[in-house]
Amino acid sequence: MFNRIAIIGLGLIGGSIGLALHKAKAAQQVTGYDLAKGSSNHARKIGAIDQPYNALADAIEGAELVILATPVGAMRSLLQEVASSIHPGAVVTDVASTKAQVTSWAEEFLPPSVAFVGGHPMTGKELSGVQAADASLFQGRIYCLTPTPRTHSIAITKVSALIEALGARIRFLEPAEHDGQVAGVSHLPFIASIAIMNTVAEGPAWADASMLAAGGFRDISRLAAGNPEMYRDICLTNGESLTRWLNEYIATLSGLRDRIAAHDRNLDETFAKAQQLRLEWQSLHNITD
């Protein structure tokens, strides 16, 4: 049972953490701070936090655990601001999409008396904002923790307790390992989706072709509707891994293009392999389409 937990950034993730903590009765008090006052008030109204604050320093005052629940683009300056007012002995964690850069900022800015461990819950929703917050958002989902050799064990203990209270399953991996893996399974997908949207809509007959676009196009272009600034900040903090995956993807596509141009009658074998991999992934991880 935590004494006081502070949630900085009250969007979908921050709000859902608050709701889940209350549901699990895992903290005596949850405080909150958000640049947008409306979000803080809404978070209190739905019971995600007990007490909103107008100043970051007040929200983290006396908190044994501080959860930074902002997008990765805000993380550098947020860590600098937290560093200037946090008390010794506190534990800090974050939920940003990339971990190597955030971890190195944390180790650079936070005082040595403050323990940090990076985290990344593998969950989400079409909708964003505290209005979409949901106590069950983490239930059964994977929550990555990315300690380094410099991480204090107290941070691992406390954040593991948090993750258990949320109902999620912990996976430990190194920051760079995390970033390489999510570059493939979540960042490459949004670049692929954005690229297909822009390519097809720049075609000469988009006004007509858009009427023929059906379920397949809807699926492949869905990620293109995501937040542009968040995507950019992910690219800026995970460029190396993402570039590597893009090179692999372009090589696979080029190979397929050459075989299609050559009227290769054995393309179905390659397509069947993809089908099998997709069905295996889906069944192994209980994914519902």
Binding residues among 217-236 for its own copies as defined by CB under 8 A: 217-229, 231-232, 235-236
Write phi, then psi, for 153 (nearest 5 degrees): -65, -25
Strand partners, 121: 143
How many residues make contact with its own copies (CB under 8 A)? 96
Asked if 283 is part of the footprint of its own copies (rule: CB under 8 A), the reply reads no
Nearer of residues 57 and 272 to its own copies, judged by Cβ:
272
- Per-residue tokens: 131: 């209005």
Whole-number Å distance between alpha carbons of 8 and 91 = 13
Nearest 5°: the CA angle 195, 201, 207 is 165
Selected binder of its own copies within 36, 55, 57, 209 (CB under 8 A): 209
b/e map of 148-168 (b: 16 or more CB within 10 Å)? beebbeebbebbbebbebbbb
Site for its own copies in 37-56 (CB under 8 A): none
Selected binder of its own copies within 112, 149, 211, 286 (CB under 8 A): 211
Nearer of residues 139 and 210 to its own copies, judged by Cβ:
210
Contact 118, 99 (CB under 8 A): yes
Site for its own copies in 151-190 (CB under 8 A): 171, 173, 177-178, 180-182, 184-186, 188-190
Selected binder of its own copies within 1, 88, 112, 269 (CB under 8 A): 269
Instruction: Give the nearest distance from C-beta 153 to its own copies in angstroms.
Output: 23
